[in-house]
Amino acid sequence: MKTSSKKIVENLKKDIWICTKLTIIFGIVFILFNQAFTIKKASLVFLFSAMYSFVLGLGNGIINDYLSEKWDWVSQTNQRVWAGIIATISYTVVAVLLIHYVQYIVIYNNNPANFFKGHFLWIHLFAIIFSLGVAVFFHARGFMVNWKASVKQETTQHEIVAKTETAKFETLKSQIDPHFLFNSLNVLTSLISENPKQAEKFTTKLSKVYRYVLEQRNKELVPIQEELQFAKTYMELLQMRFEEAIRFTIPDEVSNAELKIVPLSLQLLLENAVKHNVVSSMKPLEITIFEADGFLQIQNNVNPKEAIGKGTKVGLRNIADRYGLITDRNIEIINNNRTFTVRLPLLTHVKNRIMNTQNLENSKYVKAVERVEKLKEFYQNLISYCLVIPFLIFINLKTYARFQWFWFPMIGWGIGLIFHYLEVHNYNLFLGKNWEERKIKELMKEEEKYK
């Protein structure tokens, strides 16, 4: 009970701080928009901003926290949903009308008889719809947070073995991208006629790359010095292809010659950096490899290719799965939209191979990173919808109410938002939730019976 009360107090402090920042931000925006530069007008703007932020925002936040404490989102979903709907609608309607009464009747001395007439009615409606949209977003976010915290994945022994074999297979497939070989041969063809000496140098480096792949692909660990030397040769090969469009920094020495990493992990990460980022002389790709805090860190600037879309992260999952088989240390992924960094644990030995549900924690981490990115995009889309659509409704009804064109963007964007939600939650509209995973398991069982 003490823990619950402490959590409520912490959430309340956080909500108060958020409402304070919103009050200041919206206050400044509306002062500039309405050119309310006198002390009286500015004070009124901040007062109204505080009323909306604290009465509506903080009030709905307290209701949300209270209902989440009383009814669990996962085990008592129906009760929590209906309680949220009833409480949020009731409170929002009353709060909006109260704020508007103080604002328009008490402060601006309008006739109380006109409070539910004319343009006042549209102002009430707009504020209620907008507030409910924001409240729905926070309720949905609360549901996702609680659902993810309560649901734990349980993996059977058969699934672990199958996943391990799949990871090994995908690793072998992804060690050298066929496109890389094709592009390298094209470069070599052009160099033979233009610069024979450079072509000879290119061929030597290409042969070193493939020889290393053949020698190391079946090993569990390789000395870090060997992997760095291979990465340097690989990057020199890429630099001969892209010239000034790619730059790299790779250390010549390591702190401890006994340190090891998973073989060919650097090649996969370097290949991904080139694959997913723009590589041009105007926007050069800069890759840095360095050792820090027991990790080998591979960092590159982020300049994503628009046409390629979101990556599948197959390469990262392969590396994570291979690390999960030999160590309890996790790889780490850091993306701040300016630089993308992957931290590979530096090892000295391989752990005893005991199959359990923790062996693939690295892979789960990579999947979690991918899932969080998708959720962030969905929440950003939802927030934009909740902010823009009510604004369009207000503009439409205020300027030309006879033709309600706001329905078109509201429905069109809404349909897109629904499909975005289904994609994030791995739900196929026609085939049901987690159809892809279920089909994979079904095919695996059929293959097992066949064998």
pLDDT digits 0-9 by tens, 13-47: 877 888 888 888 888 887 877 776 788 888 888 88
What pLDDT does 439 receive? 64
Q: Which region among 38-42, 283-287, 429-433 has the lowest average model confidence (pLDDT)?
A: 429-433
CB 176 within 8 A of CB 210: yes
Task: Please compute the mean of the pLDDT values over residues 112-116 and round it to a whole number.
Answer: 86
Task: Please compute the mean of the pLDDT values over residues 90-95 and round it to a whole number.
Answer: 90
pLDDT digits 0-9 by tens, 393-423: 887 777 777 777 778 778 878 887 887 787 7
Both tokens of residue 245?
Answer: 């469009």
> Does 163 score more than 60 pLDDT?
no
What pLDDT does 287 receive? 92
CA distance 272 to 304: 11
> Does 155 score more than 50 pLDDT?
no
pLDDT digits 0-9 by tens, 168-177: 545 544 445 5
- C-alpha dist (Å) from residue 250 to 228, 230, 254: 7, 11, 10
CA distance 264 to 228: 10
Confidence of residue 350 (pLDDT cuts 50, 70, 90): low
> Does 351 score more than 60 pLDDT?
no
What pLDDT does 131 receive? 81
Task: Please compute the mean of the pLDDT values over residues 149-153 and round it to a whole number.
Answer: 52
Of 369 and 274, the one with more pLDDT:
274
Of 17 and 372, the one with more pLDDT:
17
pLDDT digits 0-9 by tens, 319-331: 887 787 777 788 8
* Structural domains for the chain: 1-151 (no CATH), 157-372 (3.30.565.10)
Task: Please compute the mean of the pLDDT values over residues 67-81 and round it to a whole number.
Answer: 79
What pLDDT does 427 receive? 66
Give all strands (DSSP E) within 302-377, no chain letters: 332-335, 339-345
Encode burial over 158-192: b for 16+ CB neighbours within 10 A, e otherwise: eebebbbeebeeebeebbbbeebeeebeebbeebe
Provide CB contacts within 8 A for 13, sequence distance 6+.
Answer: none
Q: Which region among 102-106, 197-201, 215-219, 301-305 has the lowest average model confidence (pLDDT)?
A: 215-219
What pLDDT does 83 receive? 86
Q: Please, what is the average pLDDT of the chain?
A: 76
Provide CB contacts within 8 A for 107, sequence distance 6+.
Answer: 44
What pLDDT does 160 receive? 47
> Does 440 score more than 50 pLDDT?
yes
What pLDDT does 322 receive? 76
pLDDT digits 0-9 by tens, 290-338: 998 889 999 999 888 765 455 545 667 778 877 877 777 888 888 888 8
What pLDDT does 301 receive? 92
What pLDDT does 173 receive? 44
What pLDDT does 357 receive? 41
- Residue 120: which of 100, 137, 135 has the closest Cα? 100
Q: Kindly report the number of other CB atoms within 10 A of residue 360's CB atom.
A: 25
Confidence of residue 340 (pLDDT cuts 50, 70, 90): very high
Task: Please compute the mean of the pLDDT values over residues 256-274 and round it to a whole number.
Answer: 84
Confidence of residue 94 (pLDDT cuts 50, 70, 90): very high
CA distance 248 to 241: 14
Task: Please compute the mean of the pLDDT values over residues 54-71 and round it to a whole number.
Answer: 83
> Does 390 score more than 90 pLDDT?
no
